[in-house]
Every structure is written in C-alpha cells, then in structure tokens.
Amino acid sequence: MKSLLFLAFAATLANAAPRPNVVFFLIDDLGYADCGFNGGTEIQTPNIDKLAAAGTILENHYVQPVCSPTRASLMTGRYVSHTGVYTIVRPHAKWGLPLEERTLANALKDAGYTTAITGKWHLGEFDKAYLPTSRGFEHQHGHYFGALDYFTHVRDGSDDWYHDDKPLKEEGYSTHLVTKEAVRLITEQPKDKPLFLYMPYNGVHAPMQVPDEYLKPYGALTGARKQLAGMLAAVDEGIGQVVAALEKAGQRENTLILFSADNGGPPPGTNTPLRDFKGSIFEGGVRAAAFANWPGKIPAGQRLTQPMHIIDWYPTLVKLAGGSLEQKLPLDGRDVWPMITEKAPSPHDAILSAQSIDNTAVRMGDWKLIVSNGADAELPDEGAAKTKKKGKGKAKAKGRKYQPVMLFNLAADPSEKTNLADKEPARVATMKAKLAELLKDAVPSGVR
C-alpha cells in the first residue's frame, strides 16, 4: 500500500506544472493610451504590443495616483489606507514602507524563489532596514528615488545608484543599465530555481531625457511629447531584450510576464478616454495600462473588463508560487487567477481608491463614487514634467478638482463627464456605506 501511495504522489509531482518565473514590469508615469495595445498611434512599442496581443489586456487595472503608494500596494497586497503610504517617499525622509509589512519579495523568497529588483525602489532608504535587500530582495540594482538624471544618476545633488544596496558608480543611460542587469540575472539564474524579477523602470518619468538615436523616428512630434516617445521606445527595447534573454535561457514558456503603469500618465502622456492625469482619483490617475502574459496558461487576444487592483497580484502570485499567505497583517488583495484564466467574475464587490482620507473613491460594478471632504491634494514635483518655478516643490491645481460627491457610470461614461449623484441618491447612499466600511480602520493620512 505504501508503495502505491508513493507512486501516486510521484505521479502527481511529475504532472504538476513547474512554478513560474515571474517578471513584473512597472512603467513609471506611462499614459493609459501611450502604447499601441491601448490605442496609441504616435509611439512605436512593438515589443510591448506583441506581449499584450499574446496575453490578456486588463482594461480596468487600478493603481494609486502616484508612485510610492502603488509600489507599497504591490509589495504588500494592502490598500494605502492600511499601509499609510499615501504619498511619495522623499529622499532622506524619516519614513518608508512600515517594517511590520511583509512584502511580496519576502513571501516569494520564503517559497524558494530568487528575488531581484532592477529599477526604482521608492519605499524608503533612511535606514538599512528599509532597503530592498532588507525587505526580501536578494539582489538590487538601480535607484531609490524618482526624478534622477538618467545619465548621471544624480537626484537633488546626490548620487542615487546602487548595487545590492551599496553605492555604485556606473556610466550609462539608466533604462539601459537596469535592463542589462536584468538580462544578467536571467542568464545566470539556475534552471532548477524560479525567479521573481521586479523591474520598476524609471522611464518614462521626468526629467525627459533620452539618447538622441531614440528621437529619430519621431520627427513629427515636438517638445516633451517627442522626448517621451523616445523614452518609451527605449523602455520597449529593454523589454524586448529581457524577453529575448528568457527565450535564450529556455525559460520563456514558464515565465509569467506582468506589465503595468504605476499611475496614470501626467502631461505629455495620453490617458484617452480617461479623465485627468497622475495625482488624481479620476480614472486618468488610477487606471493603468496593464496586461498579463504566460504562454499556454493565460488566454491570448483577450481583453478583460472586470475590475481589479494592483493589490491582487500579491495573493495571486504567492498562490501560483506555492507559498504561504499566512501572515500577521490581513490582505486586501484577492486571487485574480480565475478571473484572468477562466473569465470568472472579479473577486471584488468594491475597489477602493484613496488619495488621502479626504479624497477617496469606490468602484462597485460599473459605478464609481468619489467623496471629497477636504481641499484637493497638490500635485507633487515628481508628479509631472517638472515645473520651472524656482523654489516651488509643488504645482497647485487650478480651481477645485472634486465636488463633494460625484457619481459616474463608467460603462456609459468612461470619461467621467456626467455627475449622476443627484439623480441616484439611493445608489450614492449604498456606495457611501461601502466606502465607510472600507475606510473604517484606515490609517490617518497626511504629509510626513
């Protein structure tokens, strides 16, 4: 009997699919409609579009309005109302992603994965305990903050370039360098051990800088839009090189590739048909260009409209990795694998967007409610192409962005033009109650 049980167990193992490598591309400040797969026509993104076409495009993939909060949500599977990371972590700020938070890298490392980050961290560096190699990543290459010079790697007069969390002098364009490191990691990765490679590119974030050769195809464009086109083309080239490295290593068929913007694009990015830009909880600030690709596992040529949030990748990936979701802090994310692979409904009855406790939104089905109880948040200096105003770290919004209560039917009105709050009082009451439920244990917001 024991031998039969052993044979059955061995057969189960033999038939089980190997745990996937995971490569997560997080593109900084990418507009919803800047890539071809989401309707863009001005910028050439052939490698990105090829991956999107061979996978599933996620039309309602929600993130946070700015970068650090999105990264915190991805790394923890928890809303910003629980992590407290509502805003951007500034250089040398005495805070970061709270140390009690278990990260996605922690969970995947515990599951036996090699864990690496090449790109922008942006979740704290004032103390060693906040650095990537203290938060579950075995390898780190790149920078801690945004808005660094792409060629000198200097931010606010200080070098911001590290390898395994040690200062590094390295010449080259930052997009090229993080790609080069990613290719090295893939090439040297043992075949019998899965890899989690997190690639938060700094492109296409300001300052608008790119080698001149990337501008040549865009003679019809001018100014910052032309620079953005070249920067995105460089990112697309890098993604193509990473995919080629996976193919050369014989790992492409067993690699799940995920792609998302970290927030809506600021000008000169394009979020058509969505309203507004980065720094906003209108759709143009919190709905990201995104897709998932895994040959033979994720349907090709599929566009999903079911809503999800970047917090959902934490439980989804840990389950795929065979890891444990037992932890002290509860997850807000849900497993979206059945939704993506079997067209199951969204696992959420509601999705929260929070710019602060004073400016929040909830999506339920096709409906979205925005409740604004305070003054509009100002767009930080990292939120758009940098202003030329000396000594001013913020670009103030003109007029009031949000009405106290706003209700939109996103299926009929994706551009959020018509506020239906006065016509739907019962729906507003129901959604307000749900929003209050989601925020009942929220961490207070405020600039740290």
Last residue of a domain, which of 349, 377, 398? Answer: 349
Q: What tokens does 259 get?
A: 């792609």
Residues 200 and 231 in one domain: yes
Instruction: Determine the pLDDT at residue 448.
Output: 60
The pLDDT of 334-354, averaged and rounded, is: 97
**Same domain for 276 and 385?**
no
- Write down the pLDDT at residue 399: 52
**pLDDT score at 401:** 86
Per the structure, how many domains does the chain have? 2
User: Rounded to whole angstroms, how far apart are CA atoms 277 and 265?
Assistant: 6
Residue 159 lies inside a defined structural domain of this protein: yes
Asked if 331 and 424 sit in the same domain, the reply is no
Asked which of 290, 315, 349 is the last residue of a domain, the reply is: 349
Is the predicted pLDDT of residue 414 greater than 50, yes or no? Answer: yes
Considering the domain architecture, whether residues 112 and 178 belong to the same structural domain is answered as: yes
Could you tell me the two tokens for 362? 């909830």
User: Looking at residues 25-51, what average pLDDT do you find?
Assistant: 98
Percent of the chain with pLDDT over 90: 89
Q: Are residues 24 and 106 in the same domain?
A: yes
Average pLDDT taken over every residue of the chain: 92
Is position 166 within any domain? yes
Specify whether 251 is located in the same domain as 368: no
Rounded Cα–Cα distance for residues 145 and 124 (Å): 9
pLDDT tens digits for 166-178? 999 999 999 999 9
Same domain, 270 and 373: no
The gap from C-alpha 211 to its chain's centroid, in whole angstroms, comes to 25
427-445 pLDDT per residue, tens: 999 999 999 999 999 999 8
| Residue 341 and residue 357 in one domain | no
Residues forming a β-bridge with 139: 116
Structural domain for 123, as ranges: 18-349
Tell whether 9 is covered by a domain. no
Percent of the chain with pLDDT over 70: 90
- Which candidate in 61, 82, 122, 205 is catalytic? 122
State whether 78 and 201 are in the same domain. Answer: yes
Is the residue at 446 inside a domain?
no
- Domain end, chosen from 311, 332, 349, is at 349
Residue 237, phi then psi, degrees to nearest 5: -60, -45
pLDDT in tens, 73-131: 999 999 999 999 999 999 999 999 999 999 999 999 999 999 999 999 999 999 999 99
Establish if 445 belongs to a structural domain.
Answer: no
Do 144 and 87 fall within a single domain?
yes
- State yes or no: pLDDT of 381 exceeds 50: no
Identified catalytic residue from 67, 139, 143, 205? 67
Q: What is residue 379's predicted lDDT score, i.e. its pLDDT?
A: 47
Q: Decide if 13 is inside a domain.
A: no
Contact of 264 with 285, CB cutoff 8 Å: yes
Task: Give me the CATH number covering residue 24.
Answer: 3.40.720.10
Tokens of 179: 């790609």
Question: What integer pLDDT is reported at residue 382 of this predicted model?
Answer: 52
Question: Which token pair is 225?
Answer: 């839009």
Residues 169 and 217 in one domain: yes
- Asked if residue 189 lies in contact with residue 250, where contact means CB atoms within 8 angstroms, the answer is no
pTM for the full predicted model: 0.93
Residues 119 and 219 in one domain: yes
Q: Kindly tell me if the per-residue pLDDT of 197 is higher than 80.
A: yes
Beta bridge pairs of residue 360: 354, 371
Does some domain include residue 134? Answer: yes
- Reply yes or no on whether 122 is catalytic: yes
- 205 a catalytic residue: no
Once rounded to an integer, what is the mean pLDDT over residues 267-281? 97
Structure confidence at residue 397 as a pLDDT band (50, 70, 90): very low
- 113 falls within a domain: yes
Angle at 281 between CA 302 and CA 381, to 5 degrees: 110
